[in-house]
């Protein structure tokens, strides 16, 4: 390891490793630093790793559909074979229930029509043909299990949904980061694990590099914060919070793993399902399980965490609430006494849309606020960050004239100001994990 680089990247999760890969392809000498022992062993390892294309904003939809193509063509994208093997992307599709809460998906399908994303309208008979175990009674609004009205249907039924065929999931998100690490190293990138950044060096009001907990200083004119749930602390360390209209915080989340009922899916394979009537999403999980996550309804406690190394890692009654919510939809789902799943942190921005931007400190960049709905966008987010860094380092002003970034697969120009730290709260956001 040298003591100077073109760029230091803080964080080796899926977006951090993608950024290292994209900069390395441009000839940058990068060093990625992560306090964990391996790439992807932070919040990326706790990701549900769902690849989907439906978002509430046109820009979010564009970005997600662009990102889908990289997962579909993963080996071609990496141009390198990891000794651990490559991730499996399961393109099983995603069914989203039409509900009043999501506007019956009208804005989502409008976005898809604008971009050319395929989708299918399924009526209730088609939904039941694919998911025989399903109960289409409605239960909204979502409630906690101790609510006296929990489990009581409203007397109406879900009468349809939208099926998106260009969607699926990755069963080993940590491996995707390792794949990207190896691809980046093949292009000349370097990685340093089990080390913690404690200071952003900035003499003369310009980034010079970073200082590690052991006192070592590593020099670079560019530092990129991809620190996941630690992003707010790193931004504070750099002193760049003052001009950020959008900020980030760490949010505790629980994800449930339960056995998949034998009668659940007609094809035995399953699909991703998003259901705002019960405020849960679901996907198949290896080992004959399904994974159940929350879509963050108002009734659920939001546990914000100041120190991303010090929080409750044990399951709470939120686990049972999510499991029982899904049992409303699929009554044959069992709730075992042994709780399995994931407790981890999301890195969440004020409007649940990420920040991919420069900062007020020259040379300091950020890719943060990305948890919950950006795993799927990691490859294209890495490309955007590499282009944005070069754009700014070449003397352009991202704040007044944002980079117009060409989405390679879609051949569409994307205004990167959409992800600015200075933006106003985007009222088109779902203000949830759905983005």
* Residue 372 and residue 337 share a domain: no
What is the extent of the structural domain holding 388? 7-85+172-247+351-419
Residue 136 resides in a domain = yes
Helix residue ranges, H only, 116-262: 124-130, 173-186, 231-238
CATH number at residue 327: 3.30.9.10
Contact in structure between 142 and 299 (CB atoms under 8 Å): yes
Q: What is the pLDDT of residue 430?
A: 79
Q: Cα 349 to chain center, whole Å?
A: 12
State the pLDDT at residue 139.
97
Same domain, 11 and 37: yes
Does 226 share its domain with 266?
A: no
In this structure, the answer to whether residues 407 and 334 fall within a common structural domain is no
Residue 426 belongs to some domain of the structure: no
Residue 239 shares a structural domain with residue 331 = no
- Any domain includes 427: no
Locate all alpha helices (DSSP H) within 330-366, ordered by sequence: none
Whether 324 and 259 share a structural domain:
yes
Over the chain (435 residues), what is each successive 10-residue block's mean pLDDT?
92 98 98 98 94 94 97 97 97 97 95 97 98 97 95 96 98 97 98 98 96 98 98 98 96 96 94 97 94 94 93 96 96 92 95 96 97 90 98 98 97 97 90 76
What gap in Å lies between CA 143 and CA 225, rounded to an integer?
37
Q: How many domains does the chain have?
A: 2
Residues 348, 251 contacting (CB under 8 angstroms) = yes
Residue 2 forms part of a structural domain: no
Domain shared by 81 and 179, yes or no = yes
Report the pLDDT value the prediction gives residue 125, as an integer from 0 to 100.
98
| Residue 291 in domain | yes
Cβ atoms 312, 343 nearer than 8 A: yes
At how many degrees (to 10) do helices 14-25 and 173-186 cross?
20
310 and 256 inside one domain:
yes
Comparing CA positions, the residue from 137, 142, 139 lying closest to residue 158 is 137
Q: Which residues contact 182 (CB under 8 A, 6 or more apart)?
A: 78, 80, 82, 83
**Final residue of a structural domain among 346, 372, 394:** 346
Q: Is residue 435 part of a domain?
A: no
Whether the predicted model's global pTM rises above the 0.95 cut: yes
Q: Are residues 150 and 286 in the same domain?
A: yes
73 and 101, same domain (yes or no): no
- Residue 124, classed as helix, strand or coil, is helix
Looking at the structure, do residues 278 and 357 belong to the same domain, yes or no?
no
* Count of Cβ atoms closer than 10 Å to residue 154 Cβ: 12
Q: Do 224 and 389 touch, CB atoms closer than 8 A?
A: yes
| Domain's final residue, options 298, 313, 346 | 346
Q: Are residues 225 and 297 in the same domain?
A: no
- Residue 34 included in any domain: yes
Kindly state whether residue 30 falls inside one of the protein's structural domains: yes
Indicate which CATH number applies to the domain containing 18: 3.50.50.60
Give residue 371's pLDDT. 77
Domain limit, last residue, from 315, 346, 377: 346
């Amino acid at each position: 390891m040298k003591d100077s680089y073109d760029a230091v990247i803080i964080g080796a999760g899926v977006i951090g490793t993608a950024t290292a890969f994209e900069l390395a392809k441009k000839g940058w000498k990068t060093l990625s630093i992560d306090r964990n022992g391996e790439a992807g062993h932070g919040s990326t390892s706790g990701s549900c790793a769902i690849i989907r294309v439906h978002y509430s904003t046109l820009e979010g939809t564009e970005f997600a559909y662009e990102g889908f193509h990289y997962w579909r063509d993963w080996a071609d994208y990496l141009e390198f074979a990891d000794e651990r093997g490559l991730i499996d992307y399961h393109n099983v599709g995603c069914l989203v229930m039409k509900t009043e809460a999501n506007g019956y998906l009208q804005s989502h399908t409008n976005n898809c029509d604008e971009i050319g994303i395929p989708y299918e309208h399924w009526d209730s008979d088609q939904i039941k043909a694919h998911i025989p175990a399903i109960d289409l009674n409605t239960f909204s609004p979502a409630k906690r299990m101790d609510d006296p009205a929990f489990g009581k249907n409203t007397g109406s039924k879900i009468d349809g949904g939208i099926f998106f065929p260009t969607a699926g999931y990755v069963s080993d998100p940590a491996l995707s980061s390792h794949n990207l690490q190896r691809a980046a190293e093949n292009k000349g990138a370097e990685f340093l694990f089990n080390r913690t950044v404690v200071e952003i060096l900035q003499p003369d009001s310009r980034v010079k590099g970073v200082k590690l907990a052991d006192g070592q200083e590593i020099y670079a004119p560019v530092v990129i914060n991809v620190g996941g749930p630690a992003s707010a602390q790193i931004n504070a360390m750099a002193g760049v919070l003052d001009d950020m209209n959008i900020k980030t915080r760490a949010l505790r989340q629980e994800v449930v793993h339960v056995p998949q009922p034998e009668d659940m899916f007609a094809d035995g394979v399953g699909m991703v399902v998003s259901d705002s009537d019960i405020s849960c999403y679901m996907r198949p999980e290896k080992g004959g399980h399904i994974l159940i996550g929350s879509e963050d309804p108002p009734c659920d406690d939001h546990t914000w965490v100041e120190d991303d190394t010090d929080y409750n890692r044990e399951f709470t009654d939120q686990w049972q609430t999510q499991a029982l919510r899904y049992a409303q939809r699929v009554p044959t789902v069992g709730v075992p006494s042994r709780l399995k799943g994931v407790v981890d942190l999301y890195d969440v921005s004020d409007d649940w849309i990420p920040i991919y931007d420069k900062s007020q400190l020259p040379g300091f960049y950020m890719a943060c606020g990305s948890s919950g709905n950006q795993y799927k966008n990691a490859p294209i987010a890495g490309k955007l960050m590499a282009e944005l860094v070069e754009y700014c380092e070449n003397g352009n002003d991202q704040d007044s004239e944002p980079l117009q970034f060409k989405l390679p697969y879609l051949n569409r120009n994307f205004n990167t100001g959409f992800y600015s730290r200075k933006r106003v709260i985007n009222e088109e956001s779902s203000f949830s994990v759905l983005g």
